Amino acid sequence: MMLEIKGLKVKLKEEDKQILKGVDLSIAPGTVHAIMGPNGSGKSTLSYVLSGKDGYEVTDGSAMLEGADLLDMDPEARAAAGLFLAFQYPVEIPGVGNMTFLRTAVNAQRKARGEAELSAGEFLKIVREKAKSLKIDADMLKRPVNVGFSGGEKKRNEILQMAMLEPKMCILDETDSGLDVDAMKLVAEGVNALRSKGRSFLVITHYQRLLDHIKPDVVHIMADGRIIKTGGPELALEVENNGYADILAEVA
Amino acid sequence: MALAKLKTDTTQARLAGLVLPKGAGWATAARADALARVQQMGLPTKRDEYWRYTDPASLTVAAAPEAAVFVNDETPLFDAVDRIKIVFVDGVFDADASDDLTGENVQIERLADAMARDIHWAKDLYGVLETRSQTPVERPLAALNTAMATDGVVIRATGDVARPINLIYLHADPKSDVALHNLVKVEAGATVTLLETGPAAARLSKVLEVDVADGGAFHHVRAQGRDHERRAVTHCFSRIGADSTFKSFTLTFNGVLTRNECVIEIVGNDAVAHVAGACVGDGGDFHHDDTVFVTHDALNGESRQVFKKVLRNGATGVFQGKILVKAGAQKTDGYQISQSLLLDDDSQFLAKPELEIYADDVACSHGSTSGAIDEDALFYLRSRGVPIDEARNLLTLSFLAEALDEIADAALAEDLRDRLEGWLSRHR
Ligand SMILES: Nc1ncnc2c1ncn2[C@@H]1O[C@H](COP(=O)(O)OP(=O)(O)OP(=O)(O)O)[C@@H](O)[C@H]1O
Ligand SMILES: [Mg+2]
A67-92 pLDDT, tens digit each: 999 999 999 999 999 999 999 999 99
Q: Which atom of ligand 1 is nearest to the CA of A42?
A: 18
Asked if pLDDT for residue B1 goes beyond 60, the answer is no
- Name the minimum distance, in Å, from the CA of B344 to any CA of chain A: 18
pTM here is 0.92
- Name the minimum distance, in Å, from the CA of A177 to any CA of chain B: 19
Quick one: average pLDDT of A129-145? 91
A159-179 pLDDT, tens digit each: 999 999 999 999 999 999 888
What band does B374 get if pLDDT is binned at 50, 70 and 90? very high
Asked if pLDDT for residue B221 goes beyond 80, the answer is yes
- Name the minimum distance, in Å, from the CA of B380 to any CA of chain A: 7
Domain count, chain A: 1
Pocket test for ligand 1, best of A13, A20, A44, A171 (most atoms within 8 A of CB): A44
A25-65 pLDDT, tens digit each: 999 999 999 999 999 999 999 999 999 999 999 999 999 99
Residue B111 CA to residue B149 CA, distance in Å, equals: 9
What confidence score (pLDDT) does residue B428 get? Answer: 82
Of B377, B383, B387, the CB nearest to A93: B377
Q: Is B382 a domain residue?
A: no
Residue B324 CA to residue B303 CA, distance in Å, equals: 11
Asked if pLDDT for residue A125 goes beyond 70, the answer is yes
Whichever domain contains A169, its CATH number is 3.40.50.300
Of A75, A101, A165, the CB nearest to B382: A75
Residue A146: which of A208, A87, A207, A81 has the closest Cα? A87
Q: Which domain holds residue A18?
A: 3-251
Asked if pLDDT for residue B280 goes beyond 70, the answer is yes
Q: Is B103 a domain residue?
A: yes
- Name the minimum distance, in Å, from the CA of A77 to any CA of chain B: 7
Of A79, A92, A94, the CB nearest to B384: A79
Q: Is B126 a domain residue?
A: yes
Q: Which domain holds residue B251?
A: 59-373
What confidence score (pLDDT) does residue A222 get? Answer: 97
Contact residues, chain B, for A91 at CB < 8 Å:
376-377, 379-380
Residue B356 CA to residue B322 CA, distance in Å, equals: 8
Of A51, A95, A100, the CB nearest to B383: A51
Quick one: average pLDDT of A128-147? 91
Residue B22: which of B144, B211, B150 has the closest Cα? B150
| Test the A interface: residue of B378, B382, B397, B414 with most A CBs within 10 Å | B382
Residue B234 CA to residue B216 CA, distance in Å, equals: 24
Residue contact B383–A79, C-beta within 8 A? yes
Across chain B, mean pLDDT equals 96
Q: Which atom of ligand 1 is nearest to the CA of A46?
A: 18
Q: Is B385 a domain residue?
A: no
Q: Is B79 a domain residue?
A: yes
What does A159-227 look like in DSSP terms, one character per residue? HHHHHHH--SEEEEESTTTT--HHHHHHHHHHHHHH-BTTBEEEEE-S-HHHHHHS--SEEEEEETTEE
Taking the CA atoms of residue A42, residue A45, residue A49 and residue A54 in that order, the dihedral angle to the nearest 10 degrees is: -140
Residue contact A108–B397, C-beta within 8 A? no
Across chain A, mean pLDDT equals 94
Q: Is B416 a domain residue?
A: no
Q: Which atom of ligand 1 is nearest to the CA of A88?
A: 27
For residue A246, report the distance from its CA to the centre of ligand 2, in Å.
22
Asked if pLDDT for residue B79 goes beyond 60, the answer is yes
Domain count, chain B: 1
